Amino acid sequence: MLDSKYFRTSLAIIAFLTILYLGSKVAFLITPVLSVINLLLVPMMLSGFMYYLLRPIVNYLGTRNVNRGLSVLLIYLVFTGLFVLFWVLVWPTLREQIQNFIENTPYLVEGIQNQFNQLRNDPTFSRFFSGESDVTTRLTEYVNNAITWVTNSMSNLIAVVSNIVVLIATLPIILYYMLKDGHKLSPILLSLIPRKYRKEGQETLKDIDSALSGFIVTRVLLNVVLGVLLYFGFLLIGLPYSLLLAVISIPLNFIPYIGSVLAAVPVVIVGFIESPSMAIWSLVVILIAQQIQDNVLSPIIYGKSLDVHPLTTVLLVLVGGDFYGLIGVLIALPVYMIVKILFLRIYEIIIAERTDPAAPVTAALTDLDLASEPGKDDPV
């Protein structure tokens, strides 16, 4: 009986449930740890994000015999110069548009109502409103809800970085040591893996590193270019708040699939308040810019697809947003990629051991040097 598979499986399930139950009784011990994690999550996430963007530069300077610490300091110096240029050239216009938008927010719904009334009185569109007295009211309510949602989203975004002191104090320090000593993390992680699985462990780390690097770098390049295209397009058609709307669209487009729709909402609303034709032209600009991004830039920048089904991506975004809000939405896809790579690698090891139990041991004996002497381009 003790050797039966059913008994051992049942015992494992009982042990797991017992651990969960006991863990719920000592939740007060976990609460302080979760508080620290919540405090450091944004700085750590932004540091990891910036790490993958700046690591190629540090590695390139390393090939030129520049010390890694000095390379990071040089990058910080360049970023300081870029920040000064932004503060002098871009921020005054952006600040003015933000102030004007905040001041005019109470009049947005009134402007939308006026546009609907003009459409109702227009002979071309009046037949669409005849007999439907509540259509205008409903559309106004929908747009009002959209404006409220956009305002709340902006407030949530500000709340994420509300503890600006902690962010400014910790992010440069964390990023400095990640760029300077990040290449040392791979040997440390490999040393925690049993020796016979170190080859598989190193391959897994490389796969995770490649997936995260490709995802972050390509998404940043594509979204920044998209934001520039949108800005010049908005300027061309004379859309108000063109710089503000382009800046808002960049972080929103980091949300896969749904982000492009969310970014279009405030643009169409502002365009419609100006005139219905401006709303149409705003949509045309968005569609042209996205077509350039998807059909021209994406095939050039993306080295390979992420191999994630669109339905899976949408579900991940919804689940991540439900669990952790905006942060959950942004990290849902990278976390899924890591979990997927780990699961597939573990599954391959289990299958390989069932078919050929000596395979992992033999591979480990022939490739131990691979894990013991990692190169400078090893993954984090």
Contact 266, 251 (CB under 8 A): no
Closest CA relative to residue 380, chosen from 141, 231, 211, 194:
211
Half-sphere exposure of 177 (CA within 13 A, CB side): 6
Contact 120, 280 (CB under 8 A): no
* pLDDT tens for each residue of 56-109: 898 888 888 888 889 899 999 998 999 899 889 888 888 888 778 777 766 766
Closest CA relative to residue 269, chosen from 36, 107, 40:
107
CB-based burial label for 65 (10 Å; 0-12, 13-18, 19+)? exposed
Does 163 have pLDDT greater than 90? no
The pLDDT value recorded for residue 213 is 85
Residue 240 CA to residue 234 CA, distance in Å, equals 8
Helices 359-366 and 310-355, packing angle to 10 deg: 90
**Residue bearing the bigger pLDDT, 240 or 142:** 240
Residue 282 CA to residue 171 CA, distance in Å, equals 37
pTM exceeds cut of 0.75: no
40-53 as b/e: b if 16+ CB within 10 A? eebbbbbbbbbbbe
The pLDDT value recorded for residue 197 is 81
* pLDDT tens for each residue of 180-219: 888 888 888 888 888 888 888 888 888 888 888 888 888 8
The pLDDT value recorded for residue 366 is 41
Closest CA relative to residue 208, chosen from 226, 190, 191, 192:
190
Residue 92 CA to residue 90 CA, distance in Å, equals 6
3-state DSSP assignment of residue 307: coil
